[in-house]
Amino acid sequence: MEIRFDGRVAIVTGAGNGLGRSHALALAARGARVVVNDLGASLDGSGGSSDAAEAVVKEIRAAGGEAIANGANVTDYAQVEAMVRQAMETWGQVDILVNNAGILRDKTFTKVTVDDFNLVLDVHLMGSVNCTKAVWEIMREQNYGRITMTTSSSGLYGNFGQSNYAAAKMGVVGLMNTLRLEGAKYNIRVNALSPTAATRMTYELMPKELHSLLSPESVTPGLLFLVSEEAPQGEILCAGAGSFARTRIYESRGMFLGGDNLSPEKVAANWERISDTEGQEDFVGGGNQTTKFVTLALEAQKQSKD
């Protein structure tokens, strides 16, 4: 069955270039009315111009779609609220939010300044918080919402010189993990996309011969699935060069080491058993871990009495 977005309204942040542009064009091509948000800043977040967003809007309209441009800075909640009001006044609803806006301030942890660290966190993490908060009650009231965070392999696995970016990108996974629980009863599905693509943010980091292979358009089909009516809930979808994978955070079963004679030496001596992946679980809430540890302790107590 074809995935369509007829009658839906989508906000895509950072949609003037790269992945955001690709997402906005594809959503519009499948029937969505799109708010093309882009501050028009340079890669490091400085400056600003509405030209990029306006150009994408023109592309969408030329193809017969509906779109409006918006230059809100996602780090400014008042501007984000105004963007959402613009969508509501224009179309009366907001069904889809794609948190895509981002900047880079790459430096090793030794050299990165606290200001640069905070700025990257502010754009990626708090920008996602601001945009999600601004649409949350709308989606709750209409009993429908599809939200996608943009994470990264840098956050999931680490990347040299990107401590600020990695921290922000793992932060949005934590945000998603809680919002998937809070939004479930209101038919709000929250997921995360981990893209690998040749964009302004990665252009200089990748060999030129890979640029055409790692196009934003090879990632966007995954995004469309994550914001579709039949979207999953609380998933991390990795995408790049036309390939797709699902990543999860698993926890080993672990083992009970005793209550009265615990020691770091005991932890060290049992490290292999603690790390054993047999019986590992995919948790859907923080309480699952507490339940597991209490269960292990009670099982050990029962065995000692027997």
Q: What is the largest CA-CA distance in the chain?
A: 76
Which listed residue (77, 144, 165, 203) is catalytic?
165
Token duo for residue 222: 């995954």
186 is annotated as an active-site residue: no
Contacts of 155 (CB under 8 A, 6+ apart): 165, 166, 167, 168, 169, 170, 171, 172, 173
Three-class SS state of 222:
helix
By DSSP bridging, strand 145-150 and strand 188-196 are: parallel
What is the distance between the alpha carbons of residues 105 and 112, in angstroms, rounded to a whole number? 8
Q: What are phi and psi of 203, to 5 degrees?
A: -55, -45
Write the DSSP string, 95-112. -EEE--------B-TTT-
Degrees, nearest 5: CA angle 248-250-256: 170
What is the distance between the alpha carbons of residues 52 and 49, in angstroms, rounded to a whole number? 7
Query: 């009650």: which residue's tokens?
Result: 137
Write the DSSP string, 55-105. HHHHHHHHTT-EEEEE---TT-HHHHHHHHHHHHHHHS---EEE-------
What is the distance between the alpha carbons of residues 190 and 81, in angstroms, rounded to a whole number? 20
Token duo for residue 263: 């020691």
- Please report which helix (H) or strand (E) contains residue 264, including its range: helix 264-269
Query: 């945009």: which residue's tokens?
Result: 131
Q: Which residues have a catalytic role annotated?
A: 165
